[in-house]
Amino acid sequence: MTKFLDTCYNAIKKQASAIPNTLKNVEMSLLDVLKDKRLIFTGCGDSYAVANYGRWAFLAASRDSLVLSPLEISMIPLDSNSVVVGITASGRSIETISALKRAKVKGAETIVLTDDKKGAASEYADHIWLTKSGVGTYNTSPSAPTTAAMAFLLKLAAFDRENIHTVLGRDVDHLENVRNVDWIIKWAESVGKEIAEIPEVGDLLYLISDGPNYVAAQIGMMKFNEYSIVKGTSVIREEFRHHYNLSINEGDPVILVTDNMRSISDDIYKSVLSDTLKMRVFHLFCPHQQNFNSPHGQTIANTIALQMAAYYNVLKHDPQKESFKQPNAEAFRIY
């Protein structure tokens, strides 16, 4: 075990405190800025997945919202009736900062959702939403800030209207309990170890999902890619049915990510993957014992399981790994 891998693991475990601490510090007055505004989320990497999660959470609460890449912010009309939420854990993502700048020039109100209020992004935000991950560095995989930001948005969405969205609200209550989140981490570590045994060095790993859980698939894809042992690709279920299946090889690994309401269609889909296409399949779903009421809460648990899976996969194949692959990590200037 290297210092690098130890830091990555600790960042995952840190979620046991990061999620409850963040939720307890979310003030409902933060919603005032969103009143009667068009809501647009943006971010890069893990934060783009969080932006997508925010869209799903607010859609569940009956608020129309968009998720766009930072560059796409320049492609749509914005005005004082728009709120752009730039998500960046470290507050230093160059493209997210540029998106906030462009939004302000167009007259939109800007918010940065960050774990570091001293980051450069805060300079271009009218409002700062702050997570409480408690991590000491943002130079490794930002596991705790990622799910803390997801939980932050879930709580705001649950209370976005006069009538509290009770299903989302119950999941927020569940995640505010440290004991519950500790149980989630233990479950995620256990199932993550199982998933880690499936992909081998150089495999192309498919992570298939849709809806809120597609966010978990996106983040899982990024975690596997970061360690550069396995190549990951996230795929919408219907896209895989239409054309991805044409290029797969027998024995390719695949993770089907769903919520805990297993359906006949899930079983049929899994059967096609394993029996017809001869893929190595793992069906990841949040068990009923987690006591989540919505796919949005379950997505957070599934995300942690995939973070654990990527970590244990690199621990299996390259336990002496010292850093992310170089010079790939510095090929593009992102900070």
Which CATH number fits the domain that encloses residue 234? 3.40.50.10490
Does one domain contain both 39 and 170? yes
**Do 157 and 187 have their domain in common?**
no
> Is 333 domain-assigned?
no
CA dist 119 and 18 (Å) reads 19
What's CA 320's distance to the chain center, in Å? Answer: 27
Q: Please check whether residue 325 lies inside any domain of the structure.
A: no
Same domain, yes or no, for 241 and 296?
A: yes
Q: CB of 300 within 8 A of CB of 19?
A: yes
- Alpha-helical (H) ranges within 61-142 are 94-105
60 and 41 fall within a common domain:
yes
Q: Are residues 10 and 140 in the same domain?
A: yes
Check if the beta carbon of residue 258 is closer than 8 Å to that of residue 236: no
pLDDT digits (tens, 9 = 90+) for 54-111: 999 999 999 999 999 999 999 999 999 999 999 999 999 999 999 999 999 999 999 9
Which of 120, 143, 176 finishes a domain? 176
d(CA 292, CA 44): 28
Residues 199 and 139 in one domain: no
Residues 158 and 202 in one domain: no
Kindly report, residue by residue over 319-330, the tens digit of the pLDDT. 999 999 888 778
Q: Which of 287, 280, 299, 220 is nearest to 260 (CA)?
A: 287
Model confidence, pTM: 0.96
DSSP-based three-state secondary structure for 26:
coil
Domain-located, residue 329: no
| Number of domains within the chain | 2
Q: Which of 176, 211, 226 is the last residue of a domain?
A: 176
Domain assignment present for residue 330? The answer is no
Give the domain extent around 200. 182-317
Task: Clarify whether residues 123 and 237 are in a common domain.
Answer: no
**Region of poorest pLDDT, from 60-64, 128-132, 183-187, 301-305:** 60-64
pLDDT the model gives residue 125: 97
- pLDDT tens digits, one per residue of 253-278: 999 999 976 788 999 999 999 999 99
pLDDT of 163 over the 80 cut: no
As a whole number, the mean pLDDT across the chain is: 94
The confidence score (pLDDT) of residue 5 equals 95
